[in-house]
Amino acid sequence: MAGRRGLFRDWIVSVVSIGFCRLTAAFPLPVARAIGNALGALSYYAAPRVRRISLANLDLAFGDSVSPREKRRIARQAASNIGIVAAEFARIRQLRGEFLRQQVVLKGLERLDAKRGLLLIGGHIGNWEWMGSVLTGHGFPFVGVVRPLDAPRLNAFVDTTRRANGVITLPKEGAGREVVRLLQEGCVVGILIDQSPREAGVPVRFFGHPCWGTIAPMVTAVRAGSPIHVASMVRQSDGTYVMEFSPAVEMVRTDDLLGDFEVNCQRCQDAVEAVVRRHPEQWLWAHRRWKARPRLEAEWADRCARRGASRASDGTSA
What pLDDT shows up at residue 145?
A: 95
Residue 317 lies in a domain: no
Q: Is 318 inside any structural domain?
A: no
**How confident is residue 4, by pLDDT bands cut at 50, 70 and 90?**
low
Question: In the β-sheet with 228-235, what is the strand arrangement from edge to edge?
Answer: 104-107, 241-245, 228-235, 118-122, 188-192, 142-146, 168-171
Query: At residue 47, what is the residue type?
Result: A
- For residue 169, the number of C-alpha atoms closer than 13 Å in the C-beta half-sphere is 19
Tell me what the mean pLDDT of segment 244-269 comes to. 92
DSSP letter string, 4-32: HHHHHHHHHHHHHHHHHHHHHHHS-HHHH
Residue 199 lies in a domain: yes
Give residue 6's pLDDT.
Answer: 67
pLDDT in tens, 191-212: 999 999 988 899 999 999 999 9
Per-position DSSP letters for 222-248, written without gaps between them: HHHT--EEEEEEEE-TTS-EEEEEPPP
Can you give the pTM of this predicted structure? 0.92
Q: For the chain, what is the domain count?
A: 1
Average pLDDT of span 257-271: 93
- Could you tell me the residue range of the domain that residue 225 belongs to? 2-287+296-312
Q: How far is CA 37 from CA 6, 16, 105, 153, in A?
A: 29, 17, 22, 25
- Indicate the angle between helix axes 29-46 and 48-62, nearest 10 degrees: 90
pLDDT-derived band of residue 316, with 50, 70 and 90 as boundaries? very low
